Amino acid sequence: MGWAVPVIGVWTVIAPWVVDGHVATTATIWSNVVTGVVAVLLGLAAMAVGVRRSH
């Protein structure tokens, strides 16, 4: 289940360009990119901890 967090982070980064609508301002794009990158990094760190514990 740890793989879900990086996937959600990637979706958060690309969502302003994929989702239709006129809400993609510069501020919302930067917010999504920063939040998505943080989610990806934390998700990858959690996955690494899980892999280390299983070995």
What pLDDT does 34 receive?
A: 97
DSSP 2: T
DSSP line for 6-53 = HHHHHHHHHHHHHS-SS---HHHHHHHHHHHHHHHHHHHHHHHHHHHH
What pLDDT does 53 receive?
A: 82
Checking if the pLDDT of 54 tops 80, the result is no
Q: Where are the beta strands (DSSP E) in 1-55?
A: none
pLDDT tens digits, 20-39? 877 778 998 999 999 999 99
